[in-house]
Amino acid sequence: MQRKTFNWGIIAPGRIARRFAEGLSAIEDAKLYAVASSNEQRGKAFAKDFGAATSYLRYDELLADLKVDAVYIANPHRFHYETIRACILAGKPVLCEKPLTVNAAQAEQLMALAEQHQVFLMEAMWSRYLPVWQQVKRWLNQNMIGDIKLLQSSFAFPIPRDESDRLLNVDLAGGVLLDYGVYNVALSQFVMGRHPSKVLADGLVGPTGVDERCSVILNYGGAVSQFTCSFQSYTENSFCIYGDKGKIVVPAYFWDSNKVELHLFDKRPELLELPYLASGFEYQASEAMSCIRRGMLQSQLNTWQDTLGTQRVMDEILAQVGVSYPFL
């Protein structure tokens, strides 16, 4: 028996939403049904590109459409809280780009609201679902590299010095940690399967009041994760997991990689290439659809506690570096 087509709505059809829409093409029973954009021309063009039935100028119009089965939110994270809240109150299941919110307090409020209204909510930490990172988890579960001792990663690209840009705008929750470093934190949490007992952070706050570099040590009670995220330079942008029997390497760009390496001290390296079905965003979309169809409120592959753990670590890093947002 063929399943009913699952109709996705997209709020804020920008660059990252395009990858999500491309990912839907790999899911047989999913389609992009509706788009909502404050820019009418952009919304209509996006809808045309991906065969969506309709485009809306206002978000509430999309939320009122009974044919929309779930909403993917891709606007800047400064606006995630109010957008997610509107979706939950409208009874629409939510898959929202990372970070879910600007801080843990906002995330906790939304999770309580989702629980109250029995509405599915999931952060779109898409890397966790990629074949490469699922392979990493299998190797770790098989104890292939022994006890984890050290994680090392970086995420850094220089950006133009445009102080009106979102990335450098403190009023839009700019800064490198929430935009780049969220991957370093979330995937450290994914690897370790627990929250750090101690966070030590050093950073550079630029003239606009946002963090332009964060160098961090997360202490997991013996094992540590060391990472740097930066707007100032290029780095290797890989993620290495060192154990007492070998190491696992996810090469650049680790958050969007289809390659992974297993190096054991007594064997030749195992190098795997695991290509995406489409854009890579299809895996998280499939997981969200499966959960929604089963009446679940959260994914067991990326639970609310997983998201909260990441948000709390980032709260602590920003506090230590000295960044605060005027709208909070």
Known catalytic residues are: 98
In the numeric block, which tokens belong to residue 213?
A: 């570099």
**Torsional class of 120: left (φ above 0), alpha (ψ -120 to 50), beta (otherwise):** beta
Q: What is the DSSP letter of 71?
A: E
For residue 253, whether the previous peptide bond is cis, meaning omega lies within 30 degrees of 0, is: yes
Q: What is the C-alpha separation between 167 and 157, in angstroms, rounded? A: 12
Q: What is the C-alpha separation between 318 and 325, in angstroms, rounded? A: 10
Q: What is the C-alpha separation between 44 and 101, in angstroms, rounded? A: 28
Tally of CB atoms within 10 A around 38: 13
Indicate the helix (H) or strand (E) that contains 283: helix 282-293
